[in-house]
Amino acid sequence: MLFGKAAIYTKDAKSLLTKASGFINAYDFTLNPYQGCQYGCSYCYAAAFSPNQKLRKEWGDWVIIKQNAVELLELELARWKRKHPDTPPRIYMSSVTDPYQAIESKQKLTRQLLEVMTKFQPILVIQTRSPMIVRDIDILQKLQYLRINISIPTGSESVRKDFEPKSPSIIARLQALGKLQHSLSSAKYSVTITPLLPTLPEDKKAFLQKLAIAERIVIQPFHANQKKSLVASTREEAITLQSKYAWWYDNEAEQYEIFKKELCDLVNFSPNIDIREGKNGFGYD
C-alpha cells in the first residue's frame, strides 16, 4: 500500500531489541519499530543498512512495518527482567529509522511499544526530528528514565529544505521541545545538531538564542563517505549538495570550530547547557 508517496510493507521481525554496538555501544539494545524512513534525509547514514541496493537507492520512498513488534518487545523485556531483575535495560530508539515518521500517525506502533515499556521501565533514549512525539506525552510521563533527543541540524529553513525536504520545519521542532519540557519536566532533553549543516549568517544568532532552551546540545560533522553497504556513511545526495554551500564546505573544519565556539559561548548566558561532541553526547546521562 501507499502512505503519502511511500510504499508501505509489513513483515514479522525475528527480534526487536538488537544488541547495540559501535557509536551507541553504551546501550544494551537499539529498538527500531520500522525499517526505512519516510523523511529520507539526503545525508542519512541509515540508508546503508537497507535490505538491498534497490531500496538503498530509494531511501525515503519505502517503509517496512514490523507487525509483530509489540508482542516481541513484551517477550524480550520479560526475558531481560528474569535474567536481570534489578537492572533495567538501556535502549536507544531509534538508530536507523525515525520512530515518529509519518506512517506512525496511522500505525501508532511506537505508541504501543512505549505502552509496553511502561511496564518494565527501561532506561530509554528517543531520537526523533518529529513534533509528533508530543502526541505521546501521556505515556512518556509514565517512564522513569527518559531522554528525548530532538534532531535539528541547521538553523536555516532554506538549508533544511535542501538537505531534508520531507522533514518538519525547524520552528515546529523547537515548539515541540518547548511543549515537552513544559509538560514532561522529569525527562532529560538534547538537541542533536548531527550532522552540523550550514546555518546562514543571518539566521545564526537567532538559532543560537533558541537553542538556549536545551539542556544538552550535541554536534558532529558528516560521517565519512565510505560508499559501502552496511557501513554508516554520508549519502551521495548530500555530498552533491555541498557544492551549493561552498562558502561553508570549502572551509568545513574551520566553520565547525567557529560554530562550536559560538555554542560554547552560550554557556556564559545559560550555564546549565551541556555542550558535547559526537558519541559522547548520545548517552542517557
Q: Report the pLDDT value the prediction gives residue 234, as an integer from 0 to 100.
A: 54
Do the Cβ atoms of 147 and 188 come closer than 8 Å?
A: yes
Query: Could you check whether the bond before residue 195 is cis, i.e. omega within 30 degrees of 0?
Result: yes
Buried b (16+ CB within 10 A) or exposed e, 138-158: ebbeebebbbbbbbbbbbbee
Strands 29-31 and 17-19: antiparallel
Per-residue confidence of the chain (285 residues) as pLDDT tens digits?
A: 889 889 999 999 999 999 998 889 999 999 999 999 999 998 888 888 888 888 888 899 999 999 999 999 999 999 999 999 999 999 999 999 999 999 999 999 999 999 999 999 999 999 999 999 999 999 999 999 999 999 999 999 999 999 999 999 999 999 999 999 999 999 999 999 999 999 999 999 999 999 988 999 999 987 554 444 434 445 577 778 888 999 999 999 999 999 999 999 887 777 889 999 999 999 999
